[in-house]
Amino acid sequence: MSTERAGQKRQFGHRARLVPTRAQIRLMDDQAHAARTLWNCLHDWWTMLAKEKRSLAAADAAIRRARKEIDWLGVLPAQAAQAVLKTYFQAWRNCWDGRADAPNFKARPRTVMSVDIPQGRDLNITRVHRRWGMVNIPRIGRVRFRWTKDLPVGKRADTDNRVTGARLVKDALGWHIAFRVQTLETEPGPHTGPEVGIDAGVNLPLALSDGNHHDHGRPPRLSGGEADRDKWLNPREKVKLLGLERRAAQREQHRKRGERASRRLHRTYDQIKQLRARAKRRAVDWQHKTTTTIAKRYGTVVVEDLHITNMVKSAKGTIEEPGRNVAQKSGLNRSISQEAWGRTVTMLTYKMARHGGTLHKVPAPGTSLRCSACGVTTPGSREDQATFACKNPDCGWSGNADWNAARNILHLYRMGHALIPAAGRAVARRPRGVKPATAR
């Protein structure tokens, strides 16, 4: 009997940092602005045209004619323009199926600059040496990018293992390229690793039921209880960020109402965005490395079914009934948002499946207040954020509060309290037959 496992196609994205020249940066900016403008023109054409005249062929013909007649719109490659059309129609399909709202106008300040490269054969990716690679971008030329992951290019590329396309994305740190990669991998067998419960916290990001902890080596809170908003920055970067924020506040104070912001103020805001983006990049890198380590080691991972949106609601209250401890709750909300627990669970979900493991969710109420030794919830056992001391006279166990919660999470799973995935929080769908405000 053959022991070979069937292969399965896996599609994923890999983001790499581009190092373009100044001339190439200007060309990328022009293409991104043209793509955004094309979306807005297509949206106006679609909403103002009669319903019986709307069709994919008519929209394609209008785009082709516009690219020929408008010079600054013609800088966008034809394939990228077709990708904008495809994305726009897919946005309407998502709206009709109830998965998203109707597409709207893309304003320049609130839109991420991006350009799609739908065909992978146009990229012509080559590896220069260990750290750098070269990629061909239509109408821009050869651009160097940071090589941090082996890609199926050259002799390694075939029908099942190849780069199917890419997307240029600009953030505060500059231009990046996100490759769309398709590979054929052997279906993993069942993971034989142990079971573990994970409690997500603020003082300790991830606490495991077996006593292991995963922290990022930075103090999550200040001495006064105020959340450290910049814990992913080093002390020198924190001082720089504080100076930039003060400078921006001072320049904003002297700006008159209705007056446009100066270039100096815009430059200061750009520097603040760069530091914030650098901190987020470090946080995501830590999450990827930590979740990969957990997925390789454990066969079953159990987490809480947290409703994070409800957890970070403000405590201000109303004028008739004002809230209490508003400043403390605000600091806690910032700490919860910075930990990005939802993103950690998302990473664990697909990484556990990739390594043959499973991820389960259990109800969250009571896991941090119940003693993992005796199973009794006694008032006053959770005196502070870090320590749990059971007040049950017959128990008296004490230890780390996060570790206690992780043990309770694993115990709920072993007792059969795991939630069914299909019964989790799903996207609210519009009832069948009910159309959105803008009909087809």
Read off the CATH number of the domain in which 201 is found: 3.30.420
Give residue 275's pLDDT: 94
- Torsion sign across C-alpha atoms 82, 83, 87, 88: negative
88 and 18 within one domain: yes
219 and 150 within one domain: no
210 and 73 within one domain: no
* Interval 52-73 mean pLDDT: 88
207 and 92 within one domain: no
Give residue 204's pLDDT: 80
What domain count does the chain have? 2
Give residue 321's pLDDT: 66
Q: Residue 15 falls within a domain, yes or no?
A: yes
Give dist(CA 391, CA 374) in Å, integer: 11
Give residue 157's pLDDT: 86
291 and 209 within one domain: yes
Judged against a pLDDT cut of 90, whether residue 335 lies above it is answered with no
Q: Give 325's pLDDT tier (boundaries 50, 70, 90).
A: low
Q: Residue 431 falls within a domain, yes or no?
A: no
85 and 211 within one domain: no
Q: Among 70-74, 206-210, 300-304, 385-389, which is the least confidently predicted range?
A: 385-389
* Interval 305-317 mean pLDDT: 75
72 and 156 within one domain: yes
Q: Among 56-70, 77-91, 173-187, 411-425, which is the least confidently predicted range?
A: 411-425
- Domain range holding 30? 7-186
Q: Which of 137, 160, 186 is the last residue of a domain?
A: 186
* Interval 228-248 mean pLDDT: 88
Q: Give 144's pLDDT tier (boundaries 50, 70, 90).
A: very high
* Interval 394-414 mean pLDDT: 85
Q: Residue 322 falls within a domain, yes or no?
A: yes
Q: Residue 239 falls within a domain, yes or no?
A: no
Q: Which of 186, 217, 235 is the last residue of a domain?
A: 186
Give residue 155's pLDDT: 82
Give dist(CA 96, CA 432) in Å, integer: 10
Give residue 5's pLDDT: 57
Q: Residue 233 falls within a domain, yes or no?
A: no
202 and 154 within one domain: no
**Average per-residue pLDDT in the chain?**
84
Give residue 4's pLDDT: 52
323 and 181 within one domain: no
Give residue 398's pLDDT: 82
Q: Residue 357 falls within a domain, yes or no?
A: yes
Share of the chain above pLDDT 90, in %: 41
Judged against a pLDDT cut of 70, whether residue 437 lies above it is answered with no
Of residues 87 and 433, more confidently modeled: 87
120 and 220 within one domain: no
Give residue 273's pLDDT: 93
Q: Residue 210 falls within a domain, yes or no?
A: yes
Of residues 341 and 113, more confidently modeled: 113
Between the CA of residue 309 and those of 87, 227, 312, 335, 346, what are the distances in Å? 28, 18, 6, 13, 16
pTM: 0.82
* Interval 231-248 mean pLDDT: 92
Give residue 31's pLDDT: 95
Judged against a pLDDT cut of 50, whether residue 439 lies above it is answered with no
Q: Which of 186, 218, 241 is the last residue of a domain?
A: 186
Q: Give 229's pLDDT tier (boundaries 50, 70, 90).
A: low
200 and 84 within one domain: no
211 and 120 within one domain: no
Give residue 432's pLDDT: 42
Q: Give 217's pLDDT tier (boundaries 50, 70, 90).
A: low
Q: Give 219's pLDDT tier (boundaries 50, 70, 90).
A: very low
Q: Residue 260 falls within a domain, yes or no?
A: no
